[in-house]
């Protein structure tokens, strides 16, 4: 996968891209990244990327020209039609489902805004997607782009090493994941559930599924509305007295 990132502050990405899984993914060749400082595409004498809002008001607005030209140059060189993702608090809230969808693309372009945001024509005519990382406002799109990129890149083939783990993560199954324990079995009187020490894989799987359902019911009931509960799941939820039934 190729990822181009339009940003005025490429140095913000260094620590994240040069550490842990993202670094490994890049070294493995699973993804290549490139920063484009759209200030380099400005046509005005002072390399200004923003201007006053029409109609007045506080703050500056990112101008269309440098961003259109920077994305245009990327599109011209691209072998595919890249997804152009505008980082924006007004966009669709990012989800694991969207990460899975984006992980299947060959080329992504992220646009990181600043100041009051973008000229609306960028949103209307250039972006294929608008992503928000939550209902709050950040100073710029960089942190959001890092969040989305991390969640996408870890899904690329070979990146996690342990291929089995990503499909079991919270949200991938439609539920929150079950709790995890590691050694020691007894830490200062706090014990690991017996079933996990039993070696009985069928029982362990059943326990994990039940814990996953319980957790989701307790913390994110909204997820259960879209989850295809089997009869056994429903019976267990009823039996464990978690539901109102």
Ligand X SMILES: C[S@@+](CC[C@H](N)C(=O)[O-])C[C@H]1O[C@@H](n2cnc3c(N)ncnc32)[C@H](O)[C@@H]1O
**Residues lying near ligand X in the complex (CB under 6 A):** 87-90, 112-114, 116-118, 132-134, 136-141, 144
Q: Which residues contact 139 (CB under 8 A, 6 or more apart)?
A: 114
Give 119's DSSP letter: -
- 138 versus 204: smaller Cβ distance to ligand X: 138
| 116 is known as an active-site residue | yes
SS3 content of the chain, % helix, strand, coil (to 5): 40, 15, 45
- 148 versus 159: smaller Cβ distance to ligand X: 148
| 89 is known as an active-site residue | yes
- 1 versus 131: smaller Cβ distance to ligand X: 131
Given the residues 51, 69, 116, 150, select the one marked as catalytic: 116
| 169 is known as an active-site residue | yes
| 179 is known as an active-site residue | no
Closest distance between ligand X and the C-beta of residue 96, in Å? Answer: 16
134 assigned to a ligand binding site:
yes
Given the residues 89, 119, 129, 142, select the one marked as catalytic: 89
Given the residues 105, 169, 177, 233, select the one marked as catalytic: 169
Residue with CB nearest ligand X?
113
**Three-state secondary structure string covering 128-143:** CEEEECCCCCCCCCHH
One DSSP character per residue, 150-185 reads HHHHTTSTTSSS-TTHHHHSTTTSSSPPPP---S-S
233 assigned to a ligand binding site:
no
> What gap in Å lies between CA 131 and CA 78, rounded to an integer?
22
Q: Which residue matches tokens 């299947």?
A: 104
71 assigned to a ligand binding site:
no
Closest distance between ligand X and the C-beta of residue 94, in Å? Answer: 8
113 assigned to a ligand binding site:
yes
- 82 versus 144: smaller Cβ distance to ligand X: 144
204 assigned to a ligand binding site:
no
* Cβ neighbour number for residue 134 with a 10 Å cutoff: 11
* Residues identified as active-site: 89, 116, 154, 169
């Amino acid at each position: 996968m190729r990822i181009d990132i339009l940003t005025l502050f490429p140095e913000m990405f260094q620590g994240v891209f040069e550490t842990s899984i993202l670094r490994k993914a890049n070294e493995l060749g699973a993804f290549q990244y490139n920063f484009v400082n759209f200030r380099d595409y400005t046509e005005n004498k002072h390399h200004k990327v923003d201007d006053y809002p029409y109609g007045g008001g506080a703050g500056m607005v990112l101008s269309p020209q440098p961003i259109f030209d920077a994305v245009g140059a990327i599109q011209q060189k691209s072998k595919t039609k890249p997804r152009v993702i505008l980082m924006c608090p007004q966009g669709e809230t990012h989800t694991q489902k969207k990460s899975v969808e984006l992980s299947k693309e060959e080329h992504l372009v992220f646009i990181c805004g600043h100041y009051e945001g973008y000229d609306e024509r960028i949103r209307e005519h250039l972006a294929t997607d608008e992503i928000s990382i939550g209902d709050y406002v950040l100073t710029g799109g960089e942190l959001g782009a890092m969040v989305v990129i991390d969640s996408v890149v870890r899904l690329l083939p070979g990146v996690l090493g342990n291929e089995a783990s990503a499909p079991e993560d919270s949200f991938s199954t439609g539920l929150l994941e079950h709790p995890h324990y590691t050694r020691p079995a007894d830490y200062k009187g706090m014990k690991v559930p017996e079933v996990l020490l039993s070696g009985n894989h069928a029982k362990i799987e059943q326990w994990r599924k039940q814990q996953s359902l319980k957790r989701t019911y307790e913390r994110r009931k909204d997820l259960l509305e879209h989850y295809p509960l089997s009869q056994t799941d429903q019976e267990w939820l009823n039996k464990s007295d978690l539901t109102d039934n």
